[in-house]
Amino acid sequence: MSRLLITGGTGYIGSHSAVALSKTGHQVVLYDNLSNSNRTILQSLGLIVGHHMSFVEGDVRDTKLLISTLTSHNIDAVIHFAGLKAVGESVEKPVDYYANNVQGAISLLQAMQFAQVKTLVFSSSATVYGEPRYLPLNESHSTIATNPYGRSKLHVEEMLADIAASDADWRIACLRYFNPVGAHESGLIGENPSGIPNNLMPYLAQVATGQIPELSVFGDDYPTTDGTGVRDFIHVMDLAEGHILALTYLSRNTGWHAVNLGTGKGYSVLDMIQAFEKASGRQVPYKIAPRRAGDVAICYSDPKKASELLKWRAARTLDDMCASTWRFHQFRRLSVES
Ligand code: NAD
Ligand code: UFG
């Protein structure tokens, strides 16, 4: 059992990971500036885990507040989810992305160094591989970022490698997520982006609920079985459990480690539509639209390193991902209507 600080803890992946970590006996403190989440989630988290979760409202660039949080809660390790994550927005607002993601990480590292907390799990992304040169993508694939978001992730990964090289006490895991989707089985928490969603799954869900009339499928002329883009969609609770095992691994190993968290399987956009229609019992109207700038045709992981190092493997199916997303959206509509 450890005492963990979870930055970005009220966000999508942070909240699901907080549940998984809390259920395995870890004590968690959530830290978030609520720029892309809402404190009402604390009530849902309390219902799921059966007790109140500690929450500190703050920005990761507030080094003083981080130091006082780390010391007052006697934190053993940090999981750093906080940051901005929209590729398109990062091209328009690069300064915001470097400020939140890179400056935020520097501030966190300064605070951790001061408080002598030297175990860190960092939310990285498959985006650091850029255009795949071969598939499946393993951790030895070259890294290159093609947009400010990806560069911010790569800068932080490189900083963390330097820190681990400078001081043998650091224990750092950079978890490279593929495409997290789905929701906690309770339906109480899930992905709830504000405005029109950028990503496929929340968009699909909003079309199925009738909030958006139709989905645009970005390209049907890719060199894939049905011409649409292929991704490694991973259930957010599988991803959450990967963090537990990463912490276990770090409790026994020092140094810097980059590990993919994906299923190793790819599904196309049309596969996803079909699976979502099955889970929801609703039709998902769609039209074929031009390719989206910056998209790659196919991206899926080699999950071998995660299996060998962390003893982690994704267990949930595509049907689980769609069914849990649908359950969350139904609950949400009910609570909005009531
Ligand atoms: P999210 O936006 O739901 O959660 C991020 C949380 O961080 C939000 O609650 C937000 O309010 C908070 N935050 C942002 N900037 C902050 C700051 N400066 N100080 C304090 N809190 C701040 O996003 P998510 O999908 O849960 O992603 C979590 C992490 O995983 C991010 O670092 C993201 O880049 C990474 N990631 C996400 C995906 C994905 O598809 N969701 C894929 C790969 C990697
Ligand atoms: N897509 C559509 N219509 C939509 C949205 C998406 O056809 O309305 C397609 C995309 O063209 C792509 C696939 O669905 O082929 C998946 O797109 P997403 O936007 O859901 O996900 P991406 O693979 O583009 O990117 C996501 C995150 C990135 C992260 C990456 C890691 O948004 O931040 O996964 O693999 F880096």
Q: What is the pLDDT of residues 7-33, one digit of tens each?
A: 999 999 999 999 999 999 999 999 999
| All domains in the chain, ordered by first residue | 3-182+232-263+300-316 (3.40.50.720)
**3-state SS class at 73:** coil
What value does the mean pLDDT take over residues 212-218? 96
| Positive/negative CA dihedral, 328, 330, 336, 338 | negative
Distance of alpha carbon 202 from alpha carbon 91, whole angstroms: 22
Residues ≥6 apart with Cβ < 8 Å to 40: none
Per DSSP (E only), the strands in 228-313 are 230-231, 233-235, 255-261, 267-268, 286-289, 298-299
Beta bridge partners of 269: none
Q: Would you say the pTM of this structure is higher than 0.85?
A: yes
Residue 335 has pLDDT above 80, yes or no: no
Distance of alpha carbon 247 from alpha carbon 110, whole angstroms: 21
pLDDT tens across 264-317, in order? 999 999 999 999 999 999 999 999 999 998 899 999 999 999 999 999 999 999
Model confidence band, residue 338 (pLDDT cutoffs 50, 70, 90): low
Distance 8 CA to ligand 1 centre (A): 6
Distance 172 CA to ligand 1 centre (A): 19
Residue 89 has pLDDT above 70, yes or no: yes
Please name which ligand lies nearest the alpha carbon of 292.
Answer: 2
Residue 38 has pLDDT above 80, yes or no: yes
Buried b or exposed e, range 286-321, using 16+ CB within 10 angstroms: beeeeeeeeebbbbbbbbebbeebbebebebebebb
Distance of alpha carbon 148 from alpha carbon 94, whole angstroms: 6
The CA R_g of the chain, rounded to the nearest whole Å, is 19
Please name which ligand lies nearest the alpha carbon of 203.
Answer: 2
pLDDT tens across 91-120, in order? 999 999 999 999 999 999 999 999 999 999
Candidates 31, 98, 129, 149; catalytic one: 149
pLDDT tens across 178-207, in order? 999 999 999 999 998 878 898 999 999 999
Contact (CB, 8 A) for 172 and 256: yes
Report phi then psi at 23, rounded to 5.
-65, -25
- The pLDDT assigned to 104 comes to 98
